[in-house]
Amino acid sequence: QVISGGHYDVDCYVEDPTGRTLYKEAKKQYDTFAHHTELQGVYTFCFSNEFSTFSHKTVYFEFQVGDEPPILPDMTNRVTALTQMESACLTIHEALKAVIDSQTHYRLREAQDRSRAEDLNGRVSYWSVGETLILFVVSIGQVMLLKSFFTERRPGSGTAST
């Protein structure tokens, strides 16, 4: 997911160790890609910002490697029904996974909103400094103009008349 920068979009691709493209998307704000690896080696992924080189972007990505281990021992080889305690454990585990997903989502939204608020704060600060400078220039100009109204100019101030 793109957290900050530009129009919140980025290009992305994933390649396997042989160079075959497994995933390729352009100008996406967020997406999910699930893949079960069949080859050993180095998998390559790239986030590209070449269409928007002037705006820097922050990208969040998460890897989940491997299968989740079973909650209860011998869960895969079980023939009998789950006890009430085991069933409650599974329900709680699923609820906790949903909470973790929600927290991640809210953390990303908070980071996105913080970035926008900091950008807005910077713009407001620059605007305020500009207004302050204009206010000082205008006030100094008004003081000089008012002062010129009340000063008397004498023609030929160095000669005496008799």
Query: Per-domain residue ranges for the chain?
Result: 1-65, 85-151
Contact yes or no for 40/17 (Cβ under 8 A): yes
Q: What is the pLDDT along the chain (162 residues), one digit of tens a residue?
A: 888 777 778 888 899 999 899 999 888 888 888 888 888 889 888 888 887 777 788 888 887 777 777 776 676 666 677 788 888 888 998 899 899 989 988 988 898 888 889 989 999 999 999 999 999 999 999 999 999 888 877 776 555 555
pTM of the predicted model as reported, rounded to 2 decimal places: 0.56
Amino acid at 26: A
**CA torsion, points 49, 52, 53, 55, in degrees to nearest 10?**
-100
Block residue for tokens 């329900």: 91
Give the Å distances, CA to CA, from 127 to 38, 74, 115. Answer: 56, 65, 19
In a 3-state reduction of DSSP, which class is residue 25?
A: strand
